[in-house]
């Protein structure tokens, strides 16, 4: 038999065609920006697309006193402002708002959890949520352990992690419980391990959904389908053909009033430990045996464990850290980071980080992975670039460089996975231009999601909320992933902290980063790919 075999496996069907069982979503930190900008607009989009269960309630919990109706009015205004779907459909909103509630409570007040428990029991009876609960910690990380502990003490967490057990639409019996936890998940390896231990006192690992919203973006999800669903690329996805890989997460804004938080985090904690290492693991992983959640995450962990530890004795050769100084971005003046409100005097916190990593396995041995992220850079963009090796023999006398210089080189083939903005995929190839001359010029083949499919991709939180309600943890981070990533970056953070401002470079806001970073990659006879 020839051709491709298709497995009749229900787990391979698109999750967006499935509707979860009835459940209650409890949002801790319901007065915050995350709830207003992302979570409730995501719920509205799911309701709009018919992907929320009929038996569904969402209850926000925060310290501020307000009524259910005030909360609903605030959330409607948020959906009007932040939803990707315009104009707002009143009939969709009204249906969602009927199950939208608010409980004023302090996160450390046992009485608040008693009120929450009474509300959830009533929701089981009135709305048929059957004891199924998703707890979303949309708070700063400080109260995570306390919230988990009090949920357990109040008896609000079921141990039925793999689906309903003995429950029905009347609320009798026991449903499932899951918890979604936002980053940052710890500050280093020891704090991440301590937080995991605290969570596991109440929740089993399969009940824990550590969220990284990058994993919900369409192009990130498409990395695996693009690699393993197209026979033309997978054979070229290895050290024989790939020269190097670049991962870029660039933000064009400064800290924008978040200086107090950012000064305790920095680029390494804010972007590299989570988003960027997750992207790297998806790009570099081996094909999983199945597309089951743990099979996928097993392969990601193998990649993280295979990354060679950073040689701290030569950290300047493989890492760069920097802070932005005043500059102009889009005609707007951005002040020096050290002058931003909330930033400590003499701070050594990095707003830019670049690393050169190597993966010691058979697929990637000798292929460097360059990671680069920063605030106040030239433009907002997140993309992965796979640069292929040059042909073994130069057959053409001349090739035209993008800057229109004549050079006896061929511009390398590059595959670019654009994650934001304008999500899509492109491939740079060399083509002969019209005319009698035999030469090569670079050209791009590719697509943009909006142009190809006629719609903008769904927001990441839509997919991730839906997946959690469906019990699919593929796009969430497992405990060993978190701890392995921290084991890699913690020694670097400790070395940087010990050095203080020594070795801390600077770059003007609105640029692509410090000149030291250019030397960093040019030492390897390579150059940054700036969109």
Chain segment 154-180, per-residue pLDDT in tens:
999 987 544 433 444 433 446 899 999
Report the SS3 class of residue 331.
Answer: coil
Predicted TM-score (pTM) of this structure: 0.88
Residue 394 pLDDT grade (very low, low, confident, very high; cuts 50, 70, 90): low
- pLDDT classification of 409: cutoffs 50, 70, 90: low
Check pLDDT > 90 for residue 38.
Answer: yes
Strands 56-62 and 23-28, by their bridges, are parallel
* Range from 4-13, 289-298, 458-467 carrying the lowest mean pLDDT: 4-13
Q: Quote the pLDDT of residue 15.
A: 41
What pLDDT was estimated at residue 229? 85
Q: What pLDDT is attached to residue 224?
A: 87
Q: Which of 200, 244, 275, 398 is catalytic?
A: 275
Please report the pLDDT score of residue 398 as a whole number: 55
Q: Do 277 and 488 meet the contact criterion of CB atoms below 8 Å apart?
A: yes
Q: Which of 298-312, 437-451, 459-473 has the lowest mean pLDDT?
A: 437-451
pLDDT of residue 396: 63
pLDDT at position 172 is 43
Top-confidence residue, 201 or 519: 201
Q: Would residue 275 show up in a list of annotated catalytic residues for this protein?
A: yes
- Give how far Cα 245 sits from Cα of 102, 229, 314, 372, 424, Å: 47, 21, 21, 11, 17
* Percent of residues, the chain, with pLDDT higher than 70: 89
Domains, the chain, in order of start with CATH, read 10-182 (3.40.50.720), 215-522 (3.30.360.10)
What mean pLDDT do residues 399-428 have? Answer: 73
pLDDT exceeds 90 at position 14: no
Residue 375 near residue 324 (C-beta atoms within 8 A): yes
Where is pLDDT greater, at 329 or 204? 204
Residue percentage of the chain with pLDDT more than 90: 67
When mean pLDDT is compared across 59-63, 267-271, 411-415, the lowest value belongs to 411-415
CB–CB of 22/164 below 8 Å?
no
- CA distances 119 to 2, 60, 110, 333, 482, Å, are 58, 12, 14, 49, 34
> Is the CB of residue 71 less than 8 Å from the CB of residue 30?
yes
Dihedral of the alpha carbons of 447, 225, 415, 380, in degrees to the nearest 10? 70
Report DSSP letters for 196-213, one per residue.
HHHHHTTS-GGGEEE--G
**At residue 17, does pLDDT exceed 70?**
no
Average model confidence (pLDDT) across the chain: 87
The DSSP bridge pattern shows strands 414-420 and 381-388 to be antiparallel
Q: What is the mean pLDDT of residues 325-353?
A: 92
What are the strands, taking DSSP E only, across 359-508?
Answer: 368-374, 381-388, 399-400, 406-407, 414-420, 424-431, 441-448, 505-508
Whether residue 428 contacts residue 409, with contact meaning beta carbons closer than 8 Å, is answered with no
Among residues 45, 44, 51, 59, the alpha carbon closest in space to that of 14 is found at: 51
Rounded Cα distance between 63 and 43, Å, is 22
User: For 498, how many CA atoms within 13 A lie in the half-sphere containing its CB?
Assistant: 8
What band does 1 get if pLDDT is binned at 50, 70 and 90? very low
Contact 74, 37 (CB under 8 A): no
Total H helices, total E strands in the chain: 17, 19
Residue-by-residue DSSP string for 468-493: HHHT--TTSB-HHHHHHHHHHHHHHH
Neighbouring C-beta atoms of residue 491, cutoff 10 Å:
15
- Which of 69-73, 85-89, 181-185, 330-334 shows the highest mean pLDDT? 69-73
Q: pLDDT at position 160, please?
A: 57
pLDDT of 171: 38
């Amino acid at each position: 038999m020839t051709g491709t075999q298709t497995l009749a496996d229900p787990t391979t069907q698109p999750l967006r065609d499935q509707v979860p069982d009835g459940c209650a979503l409890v949002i801790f930190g319901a007065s915050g920006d995350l709830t207003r900008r992302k979570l409730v607009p995501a719920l509205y989009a799911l309701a709009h697309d018919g992907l929320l269960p009929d038996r569904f309630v969402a209850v926000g919990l925060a310290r501020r006193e307000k009524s259910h109706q005030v909360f609903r009015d605030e959330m409607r205004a948020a959906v009007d402002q932040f939803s990707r779907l315009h104009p707002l459909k009143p009939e969709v909103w009204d249906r969602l708002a009927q199950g939208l509630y608010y409980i004023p409570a302090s996160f450390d007040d046992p009485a608040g959890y008693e009120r929450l428990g009474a509300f959830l029991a009533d929701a089981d009876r009135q709305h048929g949520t059957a004891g199924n609960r998703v707890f979303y910690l949309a708070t700063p990380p400080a109260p995570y352990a306390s919230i988990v502990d009090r949920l357990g003490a109040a008896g609000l967490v079921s141990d039925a992690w793999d689906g309903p057990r003995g429950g029905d639409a009347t609320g009798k019996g026991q449903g499932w419980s899951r918890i979604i936890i936002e980053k940052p998940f710890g500050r280093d390896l020891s704090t991440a391990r301590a937080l995991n231990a605290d969570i596991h006192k109440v929740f089993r690992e399969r009940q824990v959904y550590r969220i990284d919203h990058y994993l919900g973006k369409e192009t990130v999800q498409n990395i695996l389908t693009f690699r393993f669903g197209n026979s033309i690329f997978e054979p070229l996805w290895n050290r024989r053909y790939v020269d190097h890989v670049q991962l870029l997460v660039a933000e064009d804004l400064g800290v924008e009033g978040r200086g107090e938080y950012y000064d305790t985090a920095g680029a390494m904690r804010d972007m590299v430990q989570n988003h960027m290492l997750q992207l790297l693991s998806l790009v570099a992983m081996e094909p999983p045996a199945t597309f089951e959640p743990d099979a996928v995450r097993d392969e990601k962990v193998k990649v993280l464990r295979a990354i060679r530890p950073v040689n701290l004795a030569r950290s300047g050769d493989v890492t760069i850290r920097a802070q932005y100084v005043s500059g102009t971005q889009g005609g707007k003046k951005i002040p020096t980071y050290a002058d931003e409100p909330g930033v400590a005097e003499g701070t050594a916190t990095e707003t830019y980080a670049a690393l050169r990593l190597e993966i010691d396995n058979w697929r990637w041995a000798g292929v460097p992975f360059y990671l680069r992220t920063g605030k106040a850079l030239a433009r907002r963009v997140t993309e992965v670039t796979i640069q292929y090796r040059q042909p073994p023999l130069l057959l053409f006398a001349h090739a035209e460089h993008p800057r229109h210089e004549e050079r006896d080189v061929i511009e390398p083939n590059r595959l670019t996975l654009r994650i934001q903005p304008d999500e899509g995929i492109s491939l740079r190839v060399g083509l002969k231009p019209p005319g009698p001359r035999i030469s090569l010029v670079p050209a791009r083949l590719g697509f943009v999601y909006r142009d190809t499919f006629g719609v903008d991709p769904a927001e990441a939180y839509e997919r991730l909320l839906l997946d959690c309600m469906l019990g699919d943890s593929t796009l969430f981070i497992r405990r060993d992933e978190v701890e392995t990533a921290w084991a890699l970056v913690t020694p670097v953070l400790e070395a940087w902290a010990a050095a203080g401002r020594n070795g801390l470079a600077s770059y003007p806001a609105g640029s692509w980063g410090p000149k030291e970073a250019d030397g960093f990659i040019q030492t390897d006879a390579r150059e940054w790919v700036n969109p």
